[in-house]
Structure 1
Amino acid sequence: IRFDTAEQLCAFIQSVQEASPVDGFVTLEPWDMPGYDSKVIMAAGCFVEGASIELSADAPVKPPYTAYFQGGLTYEHCKYALKLILQKLMPNE
């Protein structure tokens, strides 16, 4: 998913984390992860570390601001995550 700004990208990733059942209270920040040439932000509040079937998102924080969004075990969880994402990205709508 492509965004216009780093702020939009980070808000999206933070919303995915907020919708997560594990560590949903954590506010994510971009960080210098070893092996990457830019800061990275990752949301993965899942029960199994590294599980791509559970709802998660990650992105390098650099142009083009592209987030990689995957997983989702249930329709209800994905719908809830979408609601939080839209509220954060479009607060006045």
Structure 2
Amino acid sequence: MCPARTLCQSLPEFLGIPASTVTCWTTAHGDVHWANLTASLQILDWEGWGRAPEGFDAAVLYAYTLLRPDTVARRAAFPILGSPAGLAA
């Protein structure tokens, strides 16, 4: 069951796209962006962590790269995004 039931049901309907089915919930940082990563790829700033669909953190980090074509070109670094879980995230 979706914790934010109204969001999970209403947003796809509002956007006119089919709803994704989240099959795997996992621990997530919730706010992964480049300022929360160290050079050795350790994740900082965990005050907003919780449960989210598998791939959520990768999807958020990828979204932060969309204005950087050189980084977007490295999408293969986020293999979860091509999976059903990543597409739902």
Q: Same fold (TM over 0.5)?
A: no
Higher helix content, 1 or 2: 2
Query: Which structure's CA Rg is the greater one?
Result: 2
Structure richer in strand, relative to its length: 1
What TM-score results when the alignment is normalised by the length of structure 1? 0.28
